[in-house]
Amino acid sequence: MVPKGDQPEAETSGAVLPVPPGGHRLPPLPYPYNALEPYISETQLRIHHDRHHAAYVEGLNTAELALVDERARLDFSLVRYWERELAFNGSGHILHSIYWTNMIPSGGEPTGLVRDCIVSYFGSVRAFREQFFRAALDVEGSGWGVLVWQPQWGRLEILTAWRHEDLTQWGTIPVLVVDTWEHAYYLDYQNRRADYIRAWWNVVNWPDVERRLRLAMAAQVPMQSYGGPAAHGPMPSAPMPGGPPPGGTGLAEPPPGPGIPGVP
Ligand code: MN
């Protein structure tokens, strides 16, 4: 099979062409290697992207092709190993791909929908930044700070990840990620992770975060059986700190689907 590589997302329809097993490719950086200086150096960025991220893409492809081979032979004696490789390298490829686009040479402050949703849930942009900073700073060992949209709760949340895949919450969609593996900052900041995260705030691409948030808001992970009551009960009546965002969360009623055959 000839790998076709990751397909660009079709943002209007939400449809993404399937990536064949072993067909993942390292996405190019959306800016030159020196574009994030002085916050992240050219050498740091080049090694991080060209070597570390590339290794996750290679590991993901290897795991997928190994599983194709195991399925063909109906021999799953190594399935535990390959499933672990699939989770680690696949999550690493996804998070790094988001990390690059989450940065831009001249960052700014969150505005519009992103700001409204942050204020609605975290109370203020400052409170959000403090929690995100501490969460990312306090990741034990290698990991990530991750701002996610949780379709099941209909709001944002801050999570952290050990490595790339531990401590996550199913169904969430990352919209803003910061890599806190030492390989992300050691050349520039040695062991000063706090200085790196503070510098990283200067290159956050908030328009990209908003684009990701709008796409994430269209996702649905039902928590109830078809036509059944909500498993998590009614939404709390107490207002969120800061009140709801103007104009609501932007969530629309889900479009009427084709339905389930045989179900009225
Ligand atoms: Mn990394």
pLDDT tens-digit series, residues 90-127: 999 999 999 999 999 999 999 999 999 999 999 999 99
Cα(181) to centroid of ligand 1, in Å? 6
Residue 182 Cα, ligand 1 centroid: separation in angstroms? 8
The pLDDT value recorded for residue 13 is 52
Higher-scoring residue by pLDDT: 218, 263: 218
Cβ atoms of residues 203 and 107 within 8 Å: yes
For residues 153 and 172, give the distance between their C-alpha atoms in angstroms, rounded to a whole number: 10
According to CATH, the superfamily of the domain at 112-216 is Iron/manganese superoxide dismutase, C-terminal domain (3.55.40.20)
259 contact partners, CB below 8 Å, separation of at least 6: none
Q: What is the CATH number of domain 42-101?
A: 1.10.287.990
The 8-class DSSP code of residue 243 comes to -
Cβ atoms of 157 and 135 closer than 8 Å: no
Distance of CA 49 from the midpoint of ligand 1 (Å): 8
Amino acid 232: pLDDT: 58
In angstroms, what is the span from residue 67 Cα to ligand 1's centroid? 25
| Cα(255) to centroid(ligand 1), Å | 38
Over residues 22-44, the mean pLDDT reads 98
- Determine the distance separating the centroid of ligand 1 and the alpha carbon of 92, expressed in angstroms: 8
Distances (CA, A) of 62 to 58, 68, 85: 6, 10, 9
Q: Report the amino acid identity of residue 6.
A: D
The pair of three-digit structure tokens given for residue 17, joined into one six-digit string: 């062409």
Q: So what's the pLDDT on residue 98?
A: 98
pTM of the predicted model over 0.85? no
In the chain, ranges of CATH 3.55.40.20 domains: 112-216
Query: What is the rounded distance in angstroms from the CA atom of residue 175 to the CA atom of residue 121?
Result: 15
What's the one-letter identity of residue 162? W
Q: Count CA within 13 A, CB hemisphere, residue 46.
A: 7
Pick 223 or 68 by higher pLDDT: 68
Higher-pLDDT residue of 34 and 257 is: 34
- Residue 19 C-alpha from the chain's centroid: 18
Query: Would you say residue 253 has pLDDT above 60?
Result: no
Q: Which two tokens stand for residue 11?
A: 């943002």
CATH 1.10.287.990 positions along the chain are 42-101
| Ligand 1 mean position, distance from CA 62 (Å) | 19
Query: From the CA of 12, how far away is ligand 1's center (Å)?
Result: 30
Say how many Å lie between the CA of residue 73 and the centre of ligand 1. 35
User: Ligand 1 mean position to 145 CA, how many Å?
Assistant: 12
Q: How far is the CA of 102 from the centre of ligand 1 (A)?
A: 13
